[in-house]
Amino acid sequence: MTTYSLVIRRLMVCSLTIVISRAITSPLLALFLSTRLGLDQKDVGLLVGIAAFTGTLLGLYGGYVVDRFEKRRLLILAMLSSSIGFLLLTFASNLYLATLTLVITESAAALFVIGSKAILSENLPIEQRAKAFSLRYTLTNIGYATGPMLGVVLAGAQPMAPFWTASAIAFLSIFLMSVVPPSRRSETATQNQPPTFLAALATLRNDRTLILFTLGSLLNAVVHGRFTIYLSQYLLVGYPSDEAMKILSAVLACNAITVIVLQYQFGRLLKREHLAFWMGIGSALFISGLLGFMYAENMVSWCLAMFVFTLGEMIVLPGEYLFIDTIAPEHLRGSYYGAQNLAALGGALSPILCGYLLTYAVPASMFLVLMGLSALGGLLCFETGRRVRVKT
């Protein structure tokens, strides 16, 4: 990471700290909401889902804002909003305040992700962006691997400590970005910027390539966006709870280790001119991993299936960022990232779809449906990627 400029190094560190601040609270959020507000798990899931859905939709406007205003200040605003949101959550005594604080944190997270991607593209030459996206994704996974463990330790000392710590980390991250020089927008980008949000939406709506690729990404997100949830749901149906948790722990450890060790190296392989090929390979690996899950009989086979599945994840996620970077006009880069961020809605739909299938159909049918969605999503991404490659 020392080969990157100060702006990129600070941005990478902030990406890690912001993820850690979110991950610290993730294993405790459901317990906190049910205890503080007296909600059952169904209502907790609905509340979190509404907040995530709202934050994702607001991210579309966030992309437009990223194009119009100085990006470093917007990232600082996102960090400050996250800090305030985590702190206010500890004072939430009713459903409305809890919903508001969750929407604040989710919207701030979306704004930070979109803004950070735009800054990466703005400050790196084309040939370095794939590796930078992979490095950022590696750091994200490190944060999600370490944050929950820290949150559990802190909660053992004081139930509110994880939320206070998350707020403090998000606030202190501001100082890392505050010394970074403001981003500069080219005169051409300023002149070409749509005058209103509706004008930007009209431009996005008319880009058929963006729409089809985002739809493909959404279908892929159903598969990889919340895989920990549907795997736990499936394991609890087919195994005793103790054994299910042991398998899930081993599978998640395999996922984290694989990403941390191999992701950056994989990023070196991703090339713009071969994106269609790589997206197709990623979808094939998802399908192979899901097939492995369906026939897994012991912990070793579960971990092998997760290894294959993770290889697909390591290709598809940086590949999606790189594809949007390829097709986005300079003056609409944030808006394009905001539009592609709508693919996260697939992750929100995943637990609902899988829960329905596990309840009303044969459990293995869940994997068959997910394989079908992955194949369709991969096909859409492959076709749009092939078109862009031919055009260029």
CATH number at residue 357: 1.20.1250.20
**Beta-carbon contacts of residue 128 (< 8 Å; ≥ 6 apart):** none
Q: What's the domain count of the chain?
A: 2
Comparing C-alpha atoms, which of 248, 216, 249 is closest to residue 233? 248
- Note whether 180 and 245 are same-domain residues: no
In whole angstroms, give the CA distance from residue 99 to residue 116: 26
- Note whether 238 and 374 are same-domain residues: yes
- State the pTM of this model: 0.78
Query: Which helix (H) or strand (E) segment is 94 a member of?
Result: none
**Which pLDDT score is estimated for 391?**
43
- Note whether 114 and 146 are same-domain residues: yes
Assigned domain for 189 exists: no
- Note whether 249 and 102 are same-domain residues: no
- Note whether 158 and 220 are same-domain residues: no
> Phi and psi of 193, rounded to 5°?
-65, 130
**Which pLDDT score is estimated for 156?**
80
3-state secondary structure 332-373: HHHHHHHHHHHHHHHHHHHHHHHHHHHHHCCCCHHHHHHHHH
- Note whether 11 and 157 are same-domain residues: yes
**Which pLDDT score is estimated for 369?**
94
Q: At what angle do helices 365-391 and 345-360 cross, to 10 degrees?
A: 150
**Which pLDDT score is estimated for 256?**
80
> DSSP assignment, residue 330?
G
**Which pLDDT score is estimated for 224?**
87
- Note whether 258 and 117 are same-domain residues: no
**63 vs 72, 74, 105, 206, 343, CA distance in Å?**
14, 11, 16, 17, 14
Assigned domain for 29 exists: yes
What is the dihedral angle through the alpha carbons of 167, 173, 178, 184, rounded to the nearest 10 degrees? -110
Instruction: Give me the sign of the Cα torsion angle 124, 128, 134, 138.
Output: negative
DSSP 50-69: HHHHHHHHHHHHHHHHHHHS
- Note whether 220 and 245 are same-domain residues: yes
Assigned domain for 42 exists: yes
Comparing C-alpha atoms, which of 129, 64, 81 is closest to residue 318? 129
- Note whether 296 and 372 are same-domain residues: yes
In whole angstroms, give the CA distance from residue 340 to residue 218: 9
- pLDDT tens for the chain, 392 residues long, are 556 677 788 888 888 999 899 888 876 777 777 777 777 656 776 777 788 788 888 888 888 888 888 888 889 999 999 999 999 988 888 888 888 898 899 889 889 988 888 888 888 887 777 778 778 877 887 887 778 778 878 888 888 888 999 999 999 999 888 877 776 654 445 555 666 777 777 888 888 888 999 999 999 998 988 787 788 778 877 788 778 878 888 887 888 888 888 877 776 777 777 788 888 999 999 999 999 999 988 889 999 999 999 999 888 888 888 888 888 887 788 888 888 888 888 877 887 788 788 878 888 888 999 999 999 999 998 888 877 754 44
Assigned domain for 221 exists: yes
155, 184, 213 — which closes off a domain? 184
In whole angstroms, give the CA distance from residue 39 to residue 30: 9
Assigned domain for 290 exists: yes
For residue 235, what are the domain limits? 195-392
- Note whether 169 and 229 are same-domain residues: no
Assigned domain for 43 exists: yes
Q: Is the separation of the CB atoms in 132 and 120 below 8 Å?
A: yes
**Residue entry with tokens 């710590």:** 165
Assigned domain for 37 exists: yes
Radius of gyration of the chain (CA): 20
184, 203, 221 — which closes off a domain? 184
137, 162, 184 — which closes off a domain? 184
Assigned domain for 190 exists: no
